[in-house]
Chain A
Amino acid sequence: MGMIVQGATGDWEVVIGLEVHAQVTSNAKLFSGSATEYGAEPNSQVSFVDSAMPGMLPVINEKAVEQAVRTGLGLKAQINKYSVFDRKNYFYADLPQGYQISQYLQPVVGEGKITIDLADGESREIGITRLHLEQDAGKSLHDQHPNMTLVDLNRSGVALMEIVSEPDMRSPEEAAAYVKKLRSILRYLGTCDGNMEEGSMRADVNVSVRRPGDEFGTRCEMKNINSVRFMQQAIIYEANRQVDILEEGGSVDQETRLYDPVKGETRSMRSKEEAHDYRYFPDPDLLPLEFDDAFIDGIRVTLPELPDDKKARFVSELSLSPYDAGVLVAEKEVADYFEAVAEGRDAKLAANWVIGELFGNLNRTGKPLGESPVSAEGLGSLIDLIKDGTISNRIAKEVFEEMFDTGKNAADIVEEKGLKQVSDTGAIEAAIDEVIAANPDKVAEYKGGKDKLFGFFMGQVMKATQGKANPGVVTQILRPKLDD
């Protein structure tokens, strides 16, 4: 569903396009041999190439090329065997070269697509315009010194993929679903860690409004948004701002705006407009980037199963609901865990345990899956105990909590606490007889037609056996005794 802004003069439709900057996962930078690790000491991961000392020349990192192609294949995009690096010229303190090496007219990856999953269970296809490789800039710190700006070039020259979408999104929810899906695909591919807090993924958001079905309106760009929540807030604010201008008879200026999450508003960065005359030209220090089909095919054969394919397989082969499958495939780590649990077991039951108990306990303790005290094998063996009738589903939940809190294995806990399900008909029959003898009034009511009391008797028997009686066996024995 598209977002409609209801103005005084009628409805307005919101149109959104995104440029996502994703940091390429690699050891060294795009054109130099310095390290890319996050959080190092200032300027400790800087070579004379990155600091643009005179005479230093860029040499491309093969891994960055490979990662860009890999991502292109994951986005089902056209791969360009011939692409060109250009200089994008602008002046800023954290850009020592005075230009960014980027790709302009001939990017390494062309048109592709991403399927986004929406809350109502619908899917939509969003077009990818292109993906190109470029250098990141350094980092300016404006608040560390009273009258100076401090510049750290550790990030300068790190390889980025700029992934540009078509203006295909129509609501903040669709934009959020796009970023989440893109992040998931990049993480499956291992081409970007998707860490938005550390700035490994940031988005420039283009927003315009129009009468439904009309031509596109004039857009504004909000730069460098590093949270999905802020992005949605920025879109809502910006769409309403533009509608207000248009309804008062004004026109929207095409400009770059800054989203301020504290004030919850966007404001003009008009002062920097002139800097946007980038004067692109081919970088004379770099020959065109060329590779052959064998290079592409060599990468293609190492592609993992991607989230959409995995989801389809979980639905068709494991009979999971599309919703459960979607939850399980969003993170590769979760999908791998689930598959290890489901291997050779009831997949539906495995899914319920992972999504219900495991996620519940991880949330409760604030632990990521990687730190789960219960391994996939551990959860699997618990499910085996349910399946072979050793413990009931209800007891299993107790056992799981104990496993989660103590790290012990299921069989030991069941043994230690004597939680084995009682299927011994003699013991169960004795318990049933006691319950019936203790509640003559309820028995009379039941026989008088109050069928619902059956649940009460079940409950009493389970209580008398500390929940260990096999509910199937109890029902089998209890019903004829009451109906007698």
Chain B
Amino acid sequence: MSLDKATVAKVANLARIKVEEKDLEPMAAELNNILGWIEQLGEVDTETTMPMTSVADMKLRWRADEVTDGGYAEEVVANAPSSEDNFFAVPKVIE
């Protein structure tokens, strides 16, 4: 697997990370190095190995259907750069 410059630009855009044009090529090379390293895992024979979903030997924990949280709107918006009447206020999203 190999990433080209255009793919790196697209992924950066989807992740909302700003990458300068001059940095795209070096980043593609770096990412390809990482991917190449991970691909070495393909050499391991996993034919008889069950997929591992967690490093901890435990099951998903379930919660009872009870209201135990919320009710602190001021705290929820406390860190927002901008808020109005306990709403988050963000730059206008044009539909």
Contacts and interface: CB of A to CB of B under 8 A. Distances in A.
Interface string A23-43: 000111000111100000111
B59 A149 contact: no
Contacts of A51: 76
Contact of B53 (A50, A258, A287): A287
B86 A26 contact: no
Contacts of B59: 287, 290
B37 interface: no
Given A28-B68, A140-B93, A277 B14 contact: yes
A44 B73 contact: yes
Contacts of B65: 26-28, 61-64
B60 interface: yes
B29 interface: no
Interface string B36-75: 0000000000000000011000111111111111110100
B14 A89 contact: yes
Interface string B1-31: 0000000001001101000000000000000
A473 interface: no
A322 interface: no
B90 interface: yes
B74 to A, nearest CB: 9
Question: How big is the B interface, by class?
Answer: 35 or more
Contacts of A46: 70, 73, 76
Nearest to A269: B95
Contacts of B86: 41-44
A191 to B, nearest CB: 13
Contact of A45 (B10, B70, B92, B93): B70
A324 interface: no
Given A42-B73, A145-B84, A274 B14 contact: yes
B53 A288 contact: yes
Contact of B58 (A43, A64, A141, A287): A287
Contacts of B62: 59-62, 65
Contacts of B54: 287
Contacts of B63: 28, 33, 59-62
A141 B76 CA distance: 18
Contacts of A35: 67, 70
Most buried by B among A33, A48, A64: A33
Contacts of B84: 145, 148, 150
Contacts of A274: 10, 13-14
B67 A153 contact: no
Given A60-B60, A287-B53, A287-B58, A32 B69 contact: yes
A152 B70 CA distance: 13
Interface string A257-282: 01000000000000000110101001
B33 interface: no
A145 B89 contact: yes
Contacts of A150: 84, 87-90
A280 to B, nearest CB: 13
Interface of A: 26-28, 32-35, 41-51, 59-65, 84, 89, 91-93, 140-142, 144-145, 147-153, 258, 274-275, 277, 279, 282, 286-290
A-B pairs with the 5 shortest C-beta distances? A34-B70, A63-B65, A33-B68, A33-B69, A47-B69
